[in-house]
A and B are shown apart, each in its own frame.
Chain A
Amino acid sequence: MASIQITNLSKTYPGASGPSVADINLSIRDGEFIVLVGPSGCGKSTLLRMVAGLEDITGGEIHIGDRLVNRVDPADRDIAMVFQNYALYPHMTVRENMAYGLKNRKTPAAEIEARVAEAARMLELRPYLDRKPRALSGGQRQRVAMGRAVVRQPAAFLFDEPLSNLDAKLRVSMRGEIRRLQKRLGTTSLYVTHDQLEAMTLADRLVVLNGGRIEQIGAPLDIYHRPASTFVASFIGAPAMNLLDAEIAGGTLRLGTVEIARIATAAQGPVSLGIRAEDLSIATQGLPFRLDFIEELGAQRLVHGHVEGQPLTLSLSPDIAISDQMHLAIRPGALHLFDTNTGKRLSLPESERQQIHAPA
């Protein structure tokens, strides 16, 4: 077990016009579960593979424990990796797959046997130990891949979208299993996914990547409640946060013709206003809302419509009556303001805001 220190890390693939990963700084504590999340092509795998040693480092440093590992062989970094397509050795049985890495490290046979048996027990793989991978289901293969990592007892686990080849139900149960296993073993973990729900549920801390750069680092709920940019706001949370074009003029935040809040600031001009779907409710007065359509999700319903000509989604309990024309109120303190040009969060002290259309 160890901490991982990533300093000014960058990667430019040969022949590429720009860097795929740029200037990453990340300090992972011992035993922490870090999830790297971001849209496809944002450099998550590249970053993970640099930590694993499968990809050369263009610039910066990686320390695992106290050791600088930039030039260390993947086999000597004391990490174990779980791949998206499992990457099991097809010619070896489940037992041999798990034992292979230990055997090559000259672990005593009795020790290997004990560790494999323990991993097989934890992952419920005992009935399959003498089968070849091709005779296993996707979920079982996934577990073997986990077992291969677990028996190594490495300083860190690296996961590259390990669940994305599984069906939705299995993904949820495996997600729980990974979390439980990691808590129990206390092994530092770096986990890559593009599924924001997986990211939210697994992470001690989330790292949101965008175009090879870190957009925000924080605990899942902190990021959910205080997204650092419109990118994070729209990426984390389902349904995505509503982002509306608004304006500050003379200390008042306006959405079209409607006054939303008074803000004690000298700033003027257009801003992006972010509101989560669950922070909106029906009221007798407030934002005029025109209904377009409703998505029923069972426990709740997503109501889609327009406010001042801009699309807006709110999430309501199914037993609330809905009409075509309604007025909406915003939960106090649930306004997010972002710079229209840079997309960065504008921080305004809470006390300086005063909402006009708060529900009674």
Chain B
Amino acid sequence: MTELSHLPATPRTGLRRWYRGRPALPAKRVQFDQPLLPWLFLMPQLAVIFVFFYWPSAQAISSSFYLEDPFGFGATFVGLENYGAALGSGEYRKIAGFTALFTLLVTVFSLGLGLLFAVKADKIIRGRATYRTALISVYAIAPPVAGLMGMMLFDQHIGPFVTLAGWFGWNMQVGIDYWDTAFALVLVSVWKQVPYNFIFFLSGLQGIPASVREAALIDCRNGLTRFRTAILLLLAPTAFFLLIINITYALFDTFAVIDVMVKDKPANNPITLVYKVYSDGFRGNDIGGSAAQSVILMVVVLILTLVQFRWLERRVHYG
């Protein structure tokens, strides 16, 4: 019979080969008795990718060229007009700006705090399990629930954060004041993502052999320099992986948090591009415009990912 174990774990696509600029490793050749059999094995995976990615993407791209009648009575071809409308709109550009800032802040803080906690937890010997469980358990909370908790924490009347800010003379008005809301969104999004980064950084730290750390202890007196030059660089593969995951998280997965926190609030609230795609399409019934925005977003993410792989991955040491 055929041996599936000979199939490479991750197929190297043409795209990967292209941006790497060198030929892919030759995959091991396997002879199948029936030529259709491998396709049969691949079917479920291909079906999932097709149904949940290619088909909707194709739909979005095609819709983005039409002006759809909100009541379902046909569509008019408008060319690039939807794109022009989106990119030309001041509101769209403001949201794009906020999205960039939001993504930057969420990524930097959740990576930074995750790393900080991991380094601290790594040093603890007594009560290690309890401490870790406490940090990790936040990850089990579903995003809408996290949003709900955030809403309570920042509630105008009962929110402890509002009270806390009040002590410092900050009249915090989440849901009303633009920047106060932005602050709350970033905080809840970071809080939700830190445990994920913590888990990966911690296991990365524990993958560094004790003797290498001890050698560094002898070679370098300054703790901060030692961490930067000997430990952090060994964590680079983990950090690179998390960077991509965190940017994706900030761009897309914070949707539920934003939705819960700004849904029923007055209009002038910070939202990200994904949320705008949703609200234009499903609330405003502007299917064409919404589709054009989602295509723009797709292209941005594609470029971002390619840049990361091309420029960053090379500098990362994979031990």
User: Which residues of chain A have a CB within 8 Å of any CB of chain B?
Assistant: 52-54, 73-76, 79-81, 83-85, 87-91, 100-101, 104, 134, 148
Contact = CB atoms under 8 A, between A and B. Distances in A.
A126 to B, nearest CB: 22
B233 interface: yes
B217 A87 contact: no
30 contacts: A52-B214, A53-B217, A53-B218, A54-B217, A73-B221, A75-B217, A75-B218, A75-B221, A76-B221, A80-B218, A81-B215, A83-B214, A83-B215, A84-B211, A85-B209, A87-B212, A87-B214, A89-B212, A89-B215, A89-B230, A90-B212, A90-B317, A91-B317, A100-B219, A101-B218, A104-B219, A104-B220, A104-B225, A148-B215, A148-B219
Contacts of A79: 218
Contacts of A88: 212, 215
B71 to A, nearest CB: 61
A61 B215 CA distance: 23
Given A90-B234, A100-B229, A83 B221 contact: no
Contacts of B211: 83-85, 87
B319 interface: yes
B127 to A, nearest CB: 14
A53 B218 CA distance: 9
Interface of B: 209, 211-212, 214-222, 225-226, 229-230, 233-234, 236, 317, 319
A88 B225 CA distance: 17
A35 to B, nearest CB: 21
Given A83-B211, A90-B234, A91-B234, A52 B218 contact: yes
A54 B209 contact: no
B225 A54 contact: no
Contacts of A52: 214, 218
Contacts of A90: 212, 234, 317, 319
Give the top 6 A-B pairs by smallest Cβ distance, nearest first.
Answer: A101-B219, A75-B221, A87-B211, A91-B317, A87-B215, A104-B220
Given A91-B233, A101-B218, A101-B219, 6 more contacts: A52-B218, A75-B219, A81-B218, A90-B319, A104-B221, A104-B226
Nearest to A102: B219
Contacts of B215: 81, 83, 87-89, 148
